[in-house]
Structures are given as C-alpha cells and as structure tokens.
C-alpha cells in the first residue's frame, strides 16, 4: 500500500489529510503524557502527515526538538511550509534517520496501514524510550454485521489490518513492548465531519459506554485505543 502515499492517490481520496482532526488527537496524546508524568526533550512522529499533531503538541509542551517523518511527498510539502524553530519535517523513513533515539515517539493511526505491521512495530521499539500508539478499533459486532464500514476504510483510507482492544494490545506485547497505560478515544463521538450514521449512534454509544466501556466498544464500535508503551 506504500504507493498510495507516495503517489497522489491518498491525497485525492483525502484532500485535507485529516488536518481538522489534529487538535483532538493532540489533546488525547497530551492527556496520556500528563497522566503518566512523562517528561521529554525530543518528540518524533512516524507518518506525521501534514504535521499538525506535532505543531499542536509544540504549543502544549516545552520540548526542544520535534521531528516529523513522512513518506508522502504531497503531505511533506504541506508540512514543510509549517516548520518552526523547534519542529522540522523530513521526507524519509524514520528507520533512515540519524536523529534517533528519541524520548517519545508517536505512531498515530499508522500500523493499520502497514503491510508487515509486526515487523514494523518491532523495528520501531528501540528508536524511542516511550512510544504512543493510536490504533483504530475497526472490529466490532456492528462493523462485521454491516460489512460496509470496514470495506470503506480499506478503500478510502487504506486500512489493511483490523483490530479490537485485546488484539491491539497483544500485538504490541508480542512485539516486545511493555504497556504502561491505555485508554479509549471516542473519535466517532467527538471528531467533526462525521457520517450521518455516526451522528445517530452518538446517544446509544454514550449511554452504553457509561455503563460498560469494553462491551460498548466491542458491540457498537466507534472508538480507538491510545497506548503508552516502552
């Protein structure tokens, strides 16, 4: 699937590169960092897109250097125009950089796109002390029953792998990570520009989530998993 990012295909399907989601994602990341009292001086993002998550975090934390790595020339060109004194963007694989190891590495909505996601996750582990993953939980009772949501994700945004909470955590543990903390994030409830079906599901998702988080996510979907790991 790498070619859809190196060509214009992904940009044509997603012209905004999800920039409108960046403040919300940065907020989730900041919360898990602050909750676990993580201090850091260097921050890296793998698959940084147009850079807005890093730039939002720059406004919240006093790190000295931020590094964004992106393989899409289209996204990189947009990110490059936003560089600051502290945050720089690079059109290269993080595995080719000489700047590692980092204090904190962000892997936000990435592993589901990578063909060899197990090998990818294993290679990332030594590149930073702390890793923060955001993994869509695409597998739920309703998504399997309806079929279309998963197939739309595959066609529209290039998801190749589909997770539920336990399989996502098992994947990271199997790749040698120590899980420090994890939390659900409610993208379908809180992000802008949601489909009509997601808007209709807000009330039942909120009501059920207040009673039983795991059961709600497993049945109704609409959530992702944020994981802090070493």
Q: Which residue has the tokens 């907020």?
A: 27
Report CA torsion sign: 196, 21, 97, 229: negative
- Report the share of the chain in percent with pLDDT over 70: 91
Strand partners of residue 66 = 43, 87
> Looking at residue 3, what is its pLDDT?
67
CB 22 within 8 A of CB 87: no
At residue 2, the pLDDT reads 58
Give the strand pairing for 102-108 and 87-90: unpaired
Residue 137, pLDDT score: 96
Lowest mean pLDDT among 12-21, 39-48, 91-100, 197-206: 12-21
Which of 150, 194, 157 is CA-nearest to residue 11? 157
pLDDT at residue 18 in the model: 72
Element holding 210 (H helix, E strand): helix 202-211
- pLDDT tens per residue, range 95-143: 999 999 999 999 999 999 999 999 999 999 999 999 999 999 999 998 8
Token digits for 77?
Answer: 């060109």
Structure tokens at 10: 């992904």
pLDDT per residue over 32-84, tens digit each? 999 999 999 999 999 999 999 999 999 999 999 999 999 888 899 999 999 99
Strands (E) across 123-220 are located at: 128-136, 179-185
8 A C-beta contact, residue 141 and residue 218:
yes
Give me the CATH number covering residue 99: 3.40.50.150
Number of domains in the chain: 1
Give the largest CA-CA distance in the chain. 49
In this prediction, residues 85-92 reach a mean pLDDT of 96
Residue 140, classed as helix, strand or coil, is: coil
Q: What pTM, to 2 d.p., does this model score? A: 0.90
Distances from the Cα of 120 to the Cα of 175, 225, 228, angstroms: 9, 18, 17
Domain encompassing residue 207 = 2-229
């Amino acid at each position: 699937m790498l070619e859809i990012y190196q060509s214009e295909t992904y940009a044509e399907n997603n012209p905004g590169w999800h920039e409108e989601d960046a403040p919300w994602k940065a907020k989730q990341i900041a919360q898990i960092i602050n909750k676990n009292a993580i201090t850091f001086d260097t921050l890296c993002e793998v698959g940084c897109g147009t850079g807005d998550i890093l730039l939002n975090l720059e406004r919240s934390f006093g790190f000295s250097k931020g590094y964004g790595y992106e393989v899409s020339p289209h996204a990189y060109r947009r990110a490059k125009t936003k560089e600051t004194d502290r945050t720089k963007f690079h059109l290269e694989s993080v595995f080719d950089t000489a700047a590692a190891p980092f204090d904190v590495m962000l892997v936000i909505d990435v592993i589901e796109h990578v063909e060899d996601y197990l090998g990818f996750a294993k290679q990332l582990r030594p590149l930073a002390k702390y890793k923060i993953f955001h993994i869509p939980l695409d597998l739920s009772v309703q998504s399997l029953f309806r079929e279309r949501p998963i197939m739309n994700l595959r066609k529209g945004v290039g998801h190749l792998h589909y997770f539920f909470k336990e399989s996502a955590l098992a994947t990271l543990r199997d790749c040698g990570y120590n899980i420090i903390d994890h939390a659900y994030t409610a993208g379908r409830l809180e992000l802008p520009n949601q489909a009509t079906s997601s808007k209709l599901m807000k009330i039942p998702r909120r009501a059920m989530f207040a009673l039983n988080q795991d059961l709600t996510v497993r049945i109704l979907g609409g959530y992702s998993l944020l994981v802090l790991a070493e």
